[in-house]
Structure 1
Amino acid sequence: MLKEFAVGKGSVFLELHTLRTLEYNYMLTLLEEQASSEMGKEAISNLTPSNVTEEVRQMLTTTAEGMDILRLKGFPSLAGVKDIRNAVKRARLGSVLTTKDLRNVAGTAHGERQAKNVVSSIDEEDTPLPIIRGMVSGLAELRSLVKAIHAAVDVDGQVIDEASVELTRIRRSMTRLQGGIRSTLDQMIKSSHYQKMLQDPIVTQRNDRYVLPVKQEYRSAFGGMIHDQSASGQTLFIEPETVVQQNNRLRELELEEEREVERILRQLTGLVAESGDELLANLSVLTELDVIIAKGRLGGVLKGVCPQVAENGVMTLKKARHPMIPVEQAVPLDIELGRERQGIIVTGPNTGGKTVSLKTVGLLALMGQSGMPIPAEEGSSLPVFSGIFADIGDEQSIEQNLSTFSAHMTNIIRILDQIEERSLILLDELGAGTDPTEGAALAISILEYILAKGCRLMATTHYTELKVFAHSRDGVINASVEFDVETLSPTYRLLMGVPGKSNAFDIARRLGLSQEIVEDGRTHLSADENRLEEMITGLTKDRRLAEEDRTEATQLRVEAEKLQREYADKMAAWETEKEKLREKARIEARTLVTRAKRESEDVIKELREWAKARPQDLKEHQLTELKKRLDDAEPEVSPTQYRGVQSSSAPRRIRVGDQVLVRSFGQKGQVTEDLGNGEFQVSLGLMKMKVAEKDMEWKSSPKPEKEQGSTFYRRQSTDVKHELDLRGKMVEESFPEIDKYLDDALMAGYPKVSLIHGKGTGALRVGVHKYLNRHPQVKEYRLGEQGEGGTGVTVVELR
């Protein structure tokens, strides 16, 4: 049986026999398990590979988007999406939908909100998802329909009391009436007059009427309407006359209830009919979305990737595995088929993995053309084949009474009649089942025919002639499955470029056959066969060594790339940090310059005021000259001129009065005396000591004092801190220190400072605040906030 699907202007055939042979149906079953909706499962069961390149690319791109969604946010179950096509059709024809139909419609309509919520929660700038976002944006908003159905029908499919005002009234009346009937019957049960007449003291129902089980002999004495009797006839179920009217009224209310429920369902059915087109369109999109998410989940199960679509017709599989083999047991395959390599001839011992290699290639090609992720590594790519054909395994047909050779040839003949340039052909044990000489010759002619058609080919064989053919034929390469002679077991590794050997002599020797017999057997091989075996042995050894070297080189390359990335990251971080330091230095330098300029203007202002008082001692042009000199002294700071470190020019000479850093002590001090011979006396707090000039680093020089009558002006900003610690001092003792500190802070250009007085009893804080209230340079003050020291600190803003 053949299944046809279109490609381009013509059509080709994808054989169901091939799908079964390559176990494609198993993959569909596995994919169905990942779907959450019944519609999604149905769509997957009908999924077939496409051979339209753009369609395959679109499917794989969409699957990759689905995998991104699952990786970032996950996806809710679409189990509520049901097949509502028939329900919508019946609603349009005027039929009243059942509560189950309505719940299914509501579940399907709600799928729109579920999908939009997930997709909208993913940052579009970081993860575009153009295809899925386009699909979701096209979903019709049906929130009002969902709300209407949920407001009338509960999860159990029952119309709730609050579905309408009338239904609420009817059911409340029924509840009250039922309570009255049961109360009347309960009184009869408890009455001594009726107890002897009752078979059992219970209230039951027959034909929707409340009745009592009465003994047959009291039929006349009890009175009422008989609705049923027991199988033996000894018990009659009688409706007492006292509740007949109540039961009649209850029946009327039940009929009213039925009519009201039908009205509500008909109203909701009308809403479904009105939204029929939107519901069916949403159902189609949600079904497709469920299939996409199922493919994404399958990728997680298989630890797979979405392969690239190869425009050049080259199949590249990196670390590919068969999906049915557990990851921890599978031996990955690296295969490239295309360009100069049109065909691969795989040789090697039985049970060595040749057939698994064929099936892996074929099944992964089918999966890729169905939009499924494949169990391989990133960088894998698949061309879009127009047809995939396989003749694998023992195809002997008992019904047709065909031999193995005949069954294989029947399949191959059918395949050869359908292949074209973009076909992939997979042949297992080509030419087997007949005379080796004739089988090999026929196999070569079949391979030549397939290669001449331009198809991609992969075949397995035991024939030495085919090894030679692959070695000498352009576009064909030998491959083999590795066999460990020491353990007498296959490793299942596929070695490209090396033909396989039968290992018959080695295996026989390892199993205990005498060396004499083995050596005698070797003499019966022709010289060419011996040379071929020696060549294969040498190639296998060289290949193994090359593989080990390549593995080591790959590891070294990975480590080198990792180190390079780490170095690049560190360089980038260093450049960022360096730029931050430069910017900080520029800001600090500009701040210092601005403060200095402001202070210079204050000085000029004071000089002018002083000059007005003593004009004979200072002229205006002298003031202008001083101001120009101050302006000229302002440095022009740029990123390349300021680094926050000492200039690379020659170090500054140390002079008396300079502030220096004594390197050996790591402390700052002031030079008090030049002792000569490169040595100075330095004051380090209360201690004075002799220090060599080479052990000192210049930090600053004292500002020159400017005599202005009886006053002096000295800039000391480098020694002024932003806070003054008063803890441990008496209140009166702190006032002079505060006064001097505030003056220094003003001279340093600080807009605000902090006075640390601690919490303690609060006496020092109160005294400091009283002093600040009358200080002329204090604009305002406040207690510190969180992060500033709280109530243990007072922050002072200066004028």
Structure 2
Amino acid sequence: MIFPKNALDKLGFIEIKSLIKEKCLSEPGREMVEKIQPQTKLDQIDRFLRQTQEFKDLLEHDAPLPVDHLYPIKPLAEKARLEGAFLAEEEFYRILQSLRTVYAVIRYFNEREGQYTNLALLFEHLPIETKIVRQIETVIDDRGKMKDNASRLLLDITQQILKSEQEARKRIDQVFKQAQNNGWTADGNLTVRDGRLCIPILAENKRKLKGLIHDESATGQTAYIEPEEVFHLNNKVRDLEFERRREVIRILTELTTELRPHVPLLLAYHGLLSKLDFVRAKALFAIDIEAHMPELSKDAELNLVNARHPLLLIGAKKEQHVVVPLHIKIDQQDRIILVSGPNAGGKSVCMKTVGLLQLMVQAGLLIPAESTSKVGIFRQIFADIGDDQSIESDLSTYSAHLSKMKHFTEFADARTLVLIDEFGTGTDPLFGGPMAEAVLEALNKKNIRGVVTTHYSNLKVFAANTVGLENASMLFDNVAMRPLYILQVGKPGSSYAFEIAQKIGLRPEILEAAKQKIGTQQKKVDTLLVDLERDKKLVHDTKIAIGKREKELETLKAEYESLQGHLEENKRQLLRDAKEEARQILKDANKLVEHTIAEIKSAQADKERTRELRRDLHAAVDKNTQKKPSPKPAESANNGSEEPIEVGDWVKLLDADTEAQVMEVAKGNNLILALGDLRTVVKKNKVIKLRGKEKAKVVKRHRAMSSDSVADFQPEVDVRGMRTEDALRQLETVLDRAVMIGYPTLKILHGKGDGILRKFVRDYLRKYSHVSHFEDEHADRGGDGITYAYIN
């Protein structure tokens, strides 16, 4: 499928695999990464991609997967399969840890049934055999050692060993003390020789103490003796230890025999852990390169949107540079893209990006491009990159290129992706150009897809006049004399040979002599291409400026619609209030009229009393029908001065007769006000700035209210285990309240894990205007699992 074999290395695929291997936790996982190869079956590729995408989503938005212990189970299971063999204590401990991991993983996905459907396929129908774990736990402790009570005999032997050791130690201490009293000992305490505890005795006294001499000092003045009675006790301990070892082997052999029927299940568990480690590594690498899953197509086509070379992207992140994204489309109409342009302008990177991303997709890896990108499946990928001259094969540079072209023209078909860098180079351009054109014509007749880079003018002309071929060029800023690394499809590009030579300082007379040596027609063509590049650059800059302007207009439109909605809501509220007030007035008026009539009747038409009641009725009518004075403009309240309203000022809303504090002075003569725990946007001419006693009274009242709010406020938010969206929503709510009540700090518990949630939380804090800075908690109290945000 891949030709030649070194094309994977030339395109950078081998380096991609090395970077993924670094993410693996186990050797089986690394072995699986090493076996990654591009596939051609669509359903298989789709499953691999979806598994990686689901694991990426899990890492970014879900609780961490419990994969703490990924010991390789397979070699242990193979050993246990052999009759008469037994596993050591530490080997059983590894199996125990791995089984606990397997069961935790299975339970993790069972709790999320239906959420990660493709990952669930990895362990479909695998049972949780807890019997194995219980059997091992009865024998092996949490330190990986045999339990003393693994059997009754083992417990008895262990207790005898302990008792004998204590007796031997007690006896040697007595002998040592007696020898010291007799003046037989040398300077120093009891010491170990040949694994036995010995007494240091002066050489002239060594016959006075019965025992075994294990060693003597370099000068021969001190002998190290194990007393005879202690020697027998230590031998008894040694015999008991041998007996204990025999019992341990018996228990391990019995446990291995019980484990043997479960060997096939253990091998299945091994496969699950290996695959999980493998997919996890792919997902972590996808996060590093900001990768997404593209849309797969059955057809031999390619449409990359905002694609970036993954290796360049990783290097740029380290050096804090920006990689210019690539947009390229290959389909039935434009099957071959012929890329021209200046040296060091990005032609080869463009071609390698296409090849590497195609290999990655067919190998089940996510790619650094928009999810709207579309990638087809190619049965063959042919690449001619770099110099493959060979002394052993007697091949020159050009011969090596021609050998590849021979293979391309013979075996390529409509489902072959062909990548050729600097097509036709390596020989006399007078002959290399026509040869390259003939090969390109033959490949085009086979309906192949591909990307070709070149400087040859005859190939540019051929592409312009041939169906299926499309010219493209890398943009060049001929004012600043630097490449822009932007691919423009539709027109060929100039090599800018004279412009680049002039920039690096080649003498003018040499440049002029060179210009005279090229043909007039070629000079016109190159000048035309340079002018075309200049026009394309102008169009490109204009499009960017228009795009920025459109974004500004969209922002203004959204702001207008927001204000319009706020105005409509205020209007509806005023109408509701007015209707309620009118209803109440009418109700009171009816009561007053009924009361007046009743009073007149009870006064039996007394003129004076009737006149008095009518005066009261008219007074009530006048009170409710008197026109309220309209509020004067803000400047009248400010004694005619044009004093500006600033952040922190207290104002009164004319429409609502409510006080609020200014949080922000926005564009368009707007103010963002704080009404308790709520925020609203109003125009400046709808408020009156409060001053003097009136302001002091409002501040005092709001402080009292705020103190109650502070008492209820908890300056701590725990987002551990939340999805990213929920965590940020919770953080925003608490942050807003902290800002409203003036709280200085906020403690955020996000945990450590893989650091994904911590990254999103800190990115959000950087964008929050009221957060001055943040830092980790002290290492003894949580370290980088907790963030302190300081609010200005």
TM-score by length of 1: 0.67
1:265 correspondence with 2:252:
yes
Q: 2:589 aligns with which of 654, 657, 673?
A: 657
Does residue 1:119 correspond to 2:109, yes or no? yes
Aligned length: 601
Does residue 108 (structure 1) correspond to residue 98 (structure 2)? The answer is yes
Change (3 A) 1:486 1:71: same
Q: CA deviation at 1:559?
A: 6.9
Kept in 2, the 8 Å contact 1:229–1:237? The answer is yes
- C-alpha contact (below 8 Å) 1:654/1:693 kept by paired residues: no
2:263 pairs with 1:276: yes
Once the two structures are superposed, residues 196-241 of structure 1 have per-residue CA deviations (whole angstroms, 9 ceiling, x without a partner) of: 4445654445565544344555454322344566677765544322
- Please state how far the C-alpha of 1:500 moved relative to its aligned partner: 1.6
Structure-1 residue corresponding to 2:133: 146
- Structure 2 counterpart SS, 1:191: helix
> In the aligned structure 1, how far is the partner of 2:395 from the partner of 2:523?
36
What is aligned with 1:394? 387
Verify the 8 A CA contact 2:476 2:533 in the aligned structure 1: no
Instruction: Report if the CA contact (8 A) 1:39-1:81 is conserved.
Output: no
SS at 1:372 equivalent:
coil
Secondary structure (helix, strand or coil) at the match of 2:414 reads coil
The correspondence of residues 57-206 of structure 1 with structure 2, limited to 5 A, is: 57-76=46-65, 78=67, 80-94=69-83, 95-120=85-110, 122=112, 128-154=115-141, 157-192=144-179, 196-199=183-186, 201-205=188-192
Matched, 1:349 2:286: no
* 1:140 CA displacement: 2.6
1:383-426 CA distances to partner (integer Å, 9 max, x unpaired)?
A: 11112121111222244443221222233334444423211111
Q: Does 1:221 align with 2:158?
A: no
Per-residue deviation, 1:344 = 0.9
* Pairs within 5 Å for 1:312-711: 312-325=299-312, 326-327=316-317, 328-511=321-504, 522=515, 524-552=517-545, 554=547, 657-658=589-590, 681-683=618-620, 689=623, 691=625
What is residue 37 of structure 1 aligned with on the other side?
Answer: 26
CA distance in 1, matches of 2:54, 2:417: 28
Letter in structure 1 aligned against 2:175 = M
Q: Distance in 1 between matches of 2:78 and 2:588?
A: 104
Is the 1:428–1:460 contact (alpha carbons within 8 Å) kept by the matching residues of 2? yes
CA, structure 1 residues 273+659, in 2 after alignment: closer, same or farther (shift >3 Å)? farther
Compared CA separation, residues 272 and 543, structure 1 to 2 (3 A): farther
SS at match of 1:395: coil
Deviates more, 1:427-436 or 1:395-404: 395-404
Q: Are the equivalent residues in 1 in contact too, given 2:26–2:72 (CA < 8 A)? A: no
SS of the equivalent of 1:501 reads coil
Alignment of 1:755-766 (within 5 A): none
Q: Find the structure with the greater CA-based Rg.
A: 1
- Stretch deviating more after TM superposition (65-74 or 242-251): 242-251
- Retained in 1: the 8 A contact 2:51–2:119? yes
Q: Is the 8 A contact 2:214 2:226 kept in 1?
A: yes
User: How far did residue 67 of structure 1 move?
Assistant: 0.9
Q: Give the Å deviation of 1:569.
A: 11
Alignment correspondent of 1:734: none
The residue identity in structure 1 corresponding to 2:97 is G
Paired residue type of 1:364 = L
Change (3 A) 1:153 1:224: same
CA distance change for structure 1 residues 192 and 521 in 2, over 3 Å: closer, same or farther? closer
How far the C-alpha of 1:548 sits from its partner, in A, is 3.2
Distance 1:136 1:549, change over 3 A: farther
How big is the shift at 1:165?
4.2
Distance 1:196 1:389, change over 3 A: farther
Aligned pair in 2 of structure 1 residues 147, 569: CA closer, same or farther (>3 Å)?
farther
Deviations 1:683-726 (A, max 9, x none): 39xxx74835999xxxxxxxxxxxxxxxxxxxxxxxxxxxxxxx
Cα RMSD (Å)? 3.9
Mapped contact 1:38–1:79 kept (Cα < 8 A): no
Which residue identity is paired with 1:372?
Answer: L
Does residue 243 (structure 1) correspond to residue 175 (structure 2)? The answer is: no
TM-score by length of 2: 0.68
Label 1:119 to 1:656 Cα distance change in 2 as closer, same or farther (>3 A): closer
Deviation at 1:40, TM superposition (A): 0.9
Over residues 237-288 of structure 1, what are the superposed CA-to-partner deviations in whole Å (9 max), with x where a residue is unaligned? Answer: 4432222442233123212211222233223323432321111111112211
Identity of aligned residues (%): 31
**Partner SS state of residue 311, structure 2:** coil
SS in 2 for 1:377: coil
Q: CA deviation at 1:339?
A: 2.7
Partner of 2:288: 301
Partner-residue secondary structure (3-state), 1:481: strand
SS of 2:618's equivalent in the other structure is strand
**CA distances 1:276-321 after superposition (whole Å, capped 9, x unpaired):** 1111111112211221111111111011112221223221111211
- Does the 8 Å CA contact 1:37/1:79 hold for their aligned counterparts? no
- Distance (Å, rounded) in 2 between the aligned partners of 1:160 and 1:479: 73
Judging changes above 3 Å, is the alpha-carbon distance between structure 1 residues 656 and 113 closer, same or farther for their aligned structure 2 residues? closer
- Select the residue among 212, 215, 218 that pairs with 2:199: 212
| Residue ranges of structure 2 left out of the alignment (5+ in a row) | 593-611, 630-792
CA distance in 2 between counterparts of 1:655 and 1:233 reads 123
Q: Is the alpha carbon distance of 1:562 and 1:487 closer, same or farther for their aligned partners in structure 2, counting shifts above 3 Å?
A: closer
Secondary structure at the aligned position of 1:681 is classed as helix
CA contact (8 A) 1:67 1:297 kept: yes
| Equivalent position amino acid for 1:96 in 2 | F
Aligned to 1:587: none
Q: Deviations over 1:125-158 (max 9, x none)?
A: 7xx2111134345333144433443453346543
Name the structure 1 match of 2:714: none
- Measured in 1, the distance between the counterparts of 2:96 and 2:263 equals 12
SS of the residue corresponding to residue 71 of structure 2 reads coil
Cα shift at 1:556: 6.1
Counterpart Cα distance in 2 of 1:238 and 1:103 = 41
SS at match of 2:625: strand
CA–CA distance in 2 between the matches of 1:690 and 1:153? 91
How far apart are the structure 1 equivalents of 2:132 and 2:557?
Answer: 59
- 1:468-521 C-alpha deviation (Å, 9 max, x unpaired): 111111111112222333443322222222312122233344455676775675
Amino acid at match of 2:390: S
Q: Which has the higher contact order (CA 8 A, sep 6+)?
A: 2
Q: Specify whether residues 82 and 517 from structure 1 end up closer, same or farther in structure 2 by C-alpha distance, changes over 3 A only.
A: closer
Equivalent residue number for residue 715 of structure 2: none
- Kept in 2, the 8 Å contact 1:110–1:142? The answer is no
Q: Against the structure 1 CA distance between its residues 484 and 72, is the aligned structure 2 distance closer, same or farther, given a 3 Å change threshold?
A: same
1:770-781 equivalent positions in 2, closer than 5 A:
none
Whether contact under 8 Å (2:299, 2:377) holds in the other structure is no
Conserved 8 A contact 1:680-1:691: no
